[in-house]
């Protein structure tokens, strides 16, 4: 079973920041938080991941709470091309039986013009 | 980012035939690859974990004799759907983890299978 809880859907205005929440209250100390997105009829695309600290790359920012029980993915300036299903995943490091990615239901993000 | 390809991108076959889907890591070596299946309006479901040079590990409820997985090299894994039936029609997606370096899992574009 997936270890994360996400809202089923959200919408955001184009050009605004999209903030996607994720709860992972049972996360273990060595487990990472990964975010992927899936645009319709394509394979999932890696966005970002983190362990404890906040992370930022060219696509997004990841804010992880101090207790690590929740996180927020931030798309700073959403565009229509960001419309997709976003998956928050908790995953153990390689070598662990829990290192495989199990997908939950994700959040369907719609960007409105 | 790393590139994973799948071939074919889509396939239509008659019921009872076997279909082979290839998954390749194009610019990195992968000791571990994963196969997923996705039905319309549903999330991805993990089918099996494929390790180079050893037998695949199947998830509960996935028939290993029906979904044959071969991981013969560090850049290629194949999934063969044997004696396909209409209920096997789905979107099949593979992913791969680099041999060394970051542990990020990269996904292929998927293969859409339609069994008539």
Cα B85 from Cα B66, distance rounded (Å): 11
- B13-72 pLDDT, tens digit each: 999 999 999 999 998 888 789 999 999 989 999 999 988 888 899 999 999 999 999 988
Q: Cβ contact (<8 Å) for B34 and A101? A: yes
Q: Cβ contact (<8 Å) for B110 and A42? A: yes
Cα A5 from Cα A100, distance rounded (Å): 18
Tell me the sheet residues that pair with B51: B32
Q: Does residue A27 surpass a pLDDT of 80? A: yes
Cα A111 from Cα A94, distance rounded (Å): 35
**Residue B2, pLDDT score:** 73
Q: What pLDDT band is residue B103 in, cutting at 50, 70 and 90?
A: confident
Q: Identify whether the C-beta of residue B24 lies closer than 8 Å to the C-beta of residue B76.
A: yes
Q: Cβ contact (<8 Å) for B106 and A104? A: no
Chain B residue closest in CA terms to A48: B104
């Amino acid at each position: 079973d997936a270890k994360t809880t996400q809202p089923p859907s959200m919408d955001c205005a184009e050009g605004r920041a999209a903030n996607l929440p994720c709860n992972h209250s049972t996360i273990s100390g060595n487990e990472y938080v990964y975010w992927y997105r899936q645009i319709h009829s394509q394979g999932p695309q890696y966005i970002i991941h983190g362990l404890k600290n906040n992370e930022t790359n060219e696509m997004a920012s990841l804010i992880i709470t101090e207790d690590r029980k929740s996180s927020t993915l931030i798309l700073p300036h959403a565009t229509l091309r960001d419309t997709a299903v976003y998956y928050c995943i908790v995953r153990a490091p390689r070598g662990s039986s829990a290192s495989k990615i199990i997908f939950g239901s994700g959040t369907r993000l719609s960007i409105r013009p | 980012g790393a590139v994973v390809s799948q071939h074919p991108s889509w396939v239509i076959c008659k019921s009872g035939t076997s279909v082979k889907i290839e998954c390749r890591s194009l610019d990195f070596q992968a000791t571990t690859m994963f196969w997923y299946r996705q039905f319309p309006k549903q999330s991805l479901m993990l089918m099996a974990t494929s390790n180079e040079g050893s037998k695949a590990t199947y998830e509960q409820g996935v028939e290993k004799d029906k979904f044959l997985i071969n991981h013969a090299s560090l850049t290629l894994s194949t999934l063969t759907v044997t004696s396909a039936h209409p209920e096997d029609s789905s979107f099949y997606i593979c992913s791969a983890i680099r041999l060394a370096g970051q542990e990020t899992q990269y996904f292929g574009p998927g293969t859409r299978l339609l069994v008539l």
